[in-house]
Amino acid sequence: MDQRAIIFATLFGPILAVVVTRVVDKMRERRDGKLRIFRILMSTRRMRISLDHVSALNQVEIEFYGNNKVISGWRQYMEHLSRPPAPNAPWNKWNDDADTILAKLLSEMATDLGFNISELDIFKGGYAPEGWRNKENREAAFQAFFLDVANHKNTLPISVYHPRKNSQERPVPAHFVESPEVPARPQSLSNSFGEPRVDGEVKRTTTLNPGT
């Protein structure tokens, strides 16, 4: 019996070691992927329009595949983000609901990773400048408004501007006044031989010698 165990361990021991190592590496790799997504969402939970937040959300369904609570919370959060409030609805209420749903999702992800973080701590934690929140609200409001315009549910306000007409005409600046045309006068020039030139033509004169 001992010899069989020794033979079995000798033959299959290295194979089992390789299998166990690969399983452990696969589990570690999957946990690292979950942890990466969780950290990004935690650090950007006050910046929902950031590229990192959106990119991490699109990977939750893959990294947390099999965890029904996380996937359910992720779908609820995605549905809320895809439904902006009505034009007359307050944005503060929509933002508070989004923070509550996200806090629940992050709490489920923390439980999956073995962290004990309550929804209240997640909801109250995090920091983002107020200017970022105002920018996010303005961009969301602009998107909702132009979406209504494209769907013929709203119109663009247009005003017509009428310039005032002055009763007295303004004087024309001096440098814009045209000077009267002066007729060109023929210039008499002499060529190198002393012959007069009129209008570009040489006028030749003949001098008679009384002695000839």
* Per-residue pLDDT reduced to its tens digit, 110-148: 999 998 887 777 877 666 666 766 777 787 778 888 888
Q: How far apart are CA 75 and CA 105, in angstroms?
A: 9
User: Is 199 inside any structural domain?
Assistant: no
Q: Are 195 and 205 in contact (CB under 8 A)?
A: yes
Please determine, for residue 106, whether its predicted confidence score (pLDDT) is greater than 80: yes
193 found inside a domain: no
Whether 68 is in a domain gets the answer yes
Asked if residue 172 belongs to a domain, the reply is no
Does the predicted TM-score (pTM) go above 0.75? no
In this prediction, residue 79 has a pLDDT band, given cuts at 50, 70 and 90, of very high
Label the pairing between strands 196-198 and 201-202: antiparallel
* pLDDT at residue 93, rounded to an integer: 85
Tell whether 111 is covered by a domain: yes
Residue type, 79: E
Instruction: Answer yes or no: are the C-beta atoms of 52 and 40 closer than 8 Å.
Output: yes
* Domain-embedded: residue 156: no
Q: Are 81 and 144 within 8 A, CB to CB?
A: no
Containing 27, the helix (H) or strand (E) segment is helix 2-43
d(CA 67, CA 47): 25
Two tokens at 211?
């002695």
Dihedral through CA 54, CA 45, CA 142, CA 75, nearest 10?
60
Whether residue 157 is contained in a domain is answered as no
Residue 189 has pLDDT above 50, yes or no: no
| Any domain includes 165 | no
Residue 210 DSSP SS3: coil
Mean pLDDT of 34-54: 89
The domain total for the chain is 1
**What b/e string do you get for 1-27 counting C-beta neighbours within 10 Å, with b at 16 or more?**
eeeeeeeeeeeeeeeeeeeeeeeeeee
Could you list the residue range(s) of the whole structural domain that residue 47 is in?
2-150
The listed range with the strongest mean pLDDT (2-16, 45-59, 189-203) is: 45-59
